[in-house]
Amino acid sequence: MRRFLRLGAVAAAFGLTLAGCGSSATEAPADGGGLGTAEKPVSIRVIANDAFAKQWQDQLVPEFSKKYPNIKVTVDGVPYNDQLAKSMLELTSPTATYDVILGDDPWFPQLAKTGGLVDLKTDLSKFTDANYDWGDFNPSPLAAGEWQGHQYGVPVRSNLLLMFYNRSLYKKAKVAEPSKETTWEQYFADAPKLVQDTDGDGKKDAWAVGTYFTKDPLTPTIWQTVLNSNGGKLLDDKLKVSFDDENGVKALQTHVDLLKYAPPGASTYQFNEPLEAFRQGKVATMFMWGSVYKGTAIDKATTTLSEDQVGITTLPAGSAGPGAHRGIWSAGIAKKSAHQAAAWTFLQWVTSKEGEQWVGANLGTFPARNSTLQGTPPAPWLKPVYTAITDGYAAIAQGQMWRPRLPESDAVQQILALQTSRAMSGQATAKDAIHQAAVDIAALLKSKGYAQ
């Protein structure tokens, strides 16, 4: 990929923008920034989740700097539970501390509603490289950064819920490996066989499943995926609550029933616990974010499993098709940033065809571009992963498998997390928990002006 905007610093010195970036030679906008020079580099700051911020700073930024040495990038990591609030404060403050804002999938409507992000397609078109192919993005991940017809973010860490499975445990249990055609009925028929004694000492030491069970905003995404795979939705097209029915109860009960085949103490499982159990060979399947694949199947420092032991596919199918759930980290640029050209150059490189290849091979991050998914993977181990991602994206698009596209999405997930926890702990039946969640969400949305 050619070094787009590389001449921006020279052009800025003459008060010009780059004609080669899609604009004529006009006076550079005051907030356009530049790409810096060796004598006067440009510095940009990125706010990201602390789960991957250090990886970006230590590995991704140095690679970017090989092409753009005059753009100095600092990535600040923030704990997940603090990041949304900090980002909202940032976007509503009178001045910009951060140039690039990363947000999880359900946050972007709320971030965009502040008015603090630029439309990347229109506002920064003069800084967009001619080879930056918007049409190459798969619609499912790209849509995560869109709000009310404006593209406020690009997918920098595509992710989705998938099913991991341990081939060795399936083989030992004499059970056929799952595929995208496997239904929930078949999964539960196989589950008792996957609870087994693997070392012959008479004690169960391997179980069927590990996933989210405790109170957490991500826990409801498991049964939300079941709901969507059966054709149901949390909200209908008019944003009215639509899951307080047999479909909703069945979906939550499916999630609750998984506990019967999970390890002792699994009711406290959040993110780390099922991941560790799977990597230690203690569970045959794991419903988890696919981005953990590299650390689960490839990196010997973090897993006991080998590549040939780990399979990956979509979640079991419901009546409408297989399941997955979108979890895209998108990145936008602050409207108040004084270095928008440099910030957009950084994001373009990360999300370019070239950038995706490097990120996929070195960081294990999932791609968002069709050309990457359909091309030759940068590493052999990515081939089955790309197949699962492609199937997952198709399922997501068909079943609209994402959290509500509302500024109130985070509040909705908090309500669902509470009621899911009540059902998991036995404090409420699935029917009562679903009904209470529906009542509470309807009240929340009505208070925000949505008709219910």
* Residue 28 predicted with pLDDT over 90: no
CA angle 204/252/234 to nearest 5° reads 150
The predicted model gives 189-217 an average pLDDT of: 97
Task: Tell me if 147 sits within 8 A of 294, measured CB to CB.
Answer: no
Fold of the domain spanning 160-326+401-447: D-Maltodextrin-Binding Protein; domain 2 (3.40.190)
Each residue's pLDDT tens digit, 158-172: 999 999 999 999 999
Least trusted range by pLDDT, from 206-220, 281-295, 307-321, 355-369: 355-369
pLDDT classification of 365: cutoffs 50, 70, 90: confident
Q: Indicate the burial class of 85 (C-beta count within 10 angstroms; 0-12, 13-18, 19 or more).
A: exposed
Which residues, including other chains, have CB under 8 Å from residue 145's CB and lie 6 or more apart?
108, 120, 151, 152, 153, 154, 155, 328, 330, 331, 332
The predicted model gives 438-447 an average pLDDT of: 98
* Residue 51 predicted with pLDDT over 50: yes
Residues of the chain with CATH 3.40.190.10: 8-158+328-375, 160-326+401-447
Residue in 160, 327, 161, 172 with CA at minimum distance from that of residue 255: 161
Residue in 3, 130, 13 with CA at minimum distance from that of residue 64: 3
Residue in 31, 390, 408 with CA at minimum distance from that of residue 217: 408
Q: For the chain, what percent of residues have pLDDT higher than 70?
A: 93
Is 8-158+328-375 in CATH node 3.40.190.10? yes
Residue in 167, 187, 186 with CA at minimum distance from that of residue 177: 167
* Residue 5 predicted with pLDDT over 80: no
d(CA 448, CA 4): 44
Q: State residue 358's pLDDT score.
A: 93
Residue 396 has which token pair? Answer: 């997501």
* Residue 22 predicted with pLDDT over 90: no
Least trusted range by pLDDT, from 7-11, 43-47, 242-246, 334-338: 7-11
Task: Tell me if 401 sits within 8 A of 228, measured CB to CB.
Answer: yes
CA angle 420/426/429 to nearest 5° reads 70
pLDDT classification of 7: cutoffs 50, 70, 90: very low
d(CA 317, CA 57): 39
Residue in 225, 243, 231, 227 with CA at minimum distance from that of residue 415: 243
d(CA 32, CA 123): 10
Each residue's pLDDT tens digit, 115-140: 999 999 999 999 999 999 999 999 99
Q: What is the average pLDDT value for the chain, to the nearest integer?
A: 92
What is the phi-psi region of residue 15: left when phi exceeds 0, alpha when psi lies from -120 to 50, beta otherwise? left
Task: Tell me if 86 sits within 8 A of 113, measured CB to CB.
Answer: no
